[in-house]
Amino acid sequence: MNAFATSEEPGGVRRPAPRALDDADGRTPWRRAYDGVTRVLKGMAGLDAYERYVRHRLAHHPGEPLQGEAEFWRCRWDQESRTPKARCC
């Protein structure tokens, strides 16, 4: 279901599955549309932050330790409370 294979490693890191170049093959147009819509919706609300973080670390800091999902969100909320962002009227 999820684009990312879930693996519970020590520290609770959820690693995204390696992206195959041809992973379009298995998906119907409906499936692609569904994936696109959920991706945009999650991105709008910022729910995809952890996935993005892991991708970034794997691509640019390979081999370095990763924060677990729970720890990542705790840090993120701490940061949000220190640097609040205005929402518009």
Partner 1 sequence: MSATLSQPKPTEGRKIKADPDLPPVAVVEPLTIPTRTKIVYGIIGIVAAAAWAVIAVSRGETVSAGWFVLAAVGSYLIALRFYARLIEHKINRPDDTRATPAEEFANGKDFMPTHRVVLFGHHFAAIAGAGPLVGPVLAAQMGYLPGTLWIIIGVIFAGAVQDYMVMHLAIRRRGRSLGQMCRDELGPVGGWLAIIGVMTIMVILIAVLVIVIIGALAESPWGVFSIAMTIPIALFMGIYMRYLRPGKVTEASGIGVVLLLIAIAGGSFVAADPTLAAIFTMSKLNLAYAICLYGFAAAILPVWLLLAPRDYLSTFMKVGTIAMLALAVLIVLPVMRMPAVTTFALTGKGPAFAGNLFPFLFITIACGALSGFHALISSGTTPKMIQKESQARVIGYGGMLTESFVAINALIMACVLDPHIYFAMNAPVGLTGGTPQTAATYVNSLGLVSGAGNPLPDATPAVFADAAASVGEKSIISRTGGAPTLAFGMADVLDKIPFFGGLKAFWYHFAVMFEALFILTTVDAGTRVARFMLSDTLSNIPGLIKFRDPSWRPGAWLATALVVLGWGSIVVMGVTDPLGGIYVLFPLFGIANQLLAAIALTLVFTVVMKKGLFKWAWIPGLPLAWDLFITMWASFEKIFSSNPAIGYWASNAAARSALAAGKPYSTAKTPAEVEIVIRNTAIQGTLSILYAVLVIGVFVVGMWISAKALRLGGLPTSETKGVPSRIFGPAGFVATPLEKEVLADWRSAGKDPDGGYHHVHTEADHAAGDLIAD
Residues binding partner 1 (CB under 8 A): 3, 12, 16, 19-24, 27, 29, 32-33, 35-36, 39-53, 55-60, 68-74, 76-89
Q: Determine the number of helices (DSSP H) and then strands (DSSP E) in the chain.
A: 3, 0
Q: CB-wise, 7 or 36, nearer to partner 1?
A: 36
Instruction: Please state the closest distance from residue 47 (CB atom) to partner 1, in A.
Output: 5
Rounded to whole angstroms, how far apart are CA atoms 6 and 2?
8
Instruction: Please state the closest distance from residue 62 (CB atom) to partner 1, in A.
Output: 10
Instruction: Please state the closest distance from residue 64 (CB atom) to partner 1, in A.
Output: 11
3-state secondary structure of 29: helix
Tell me if 48 sits within 8 A of 72, measured CB to CB: no
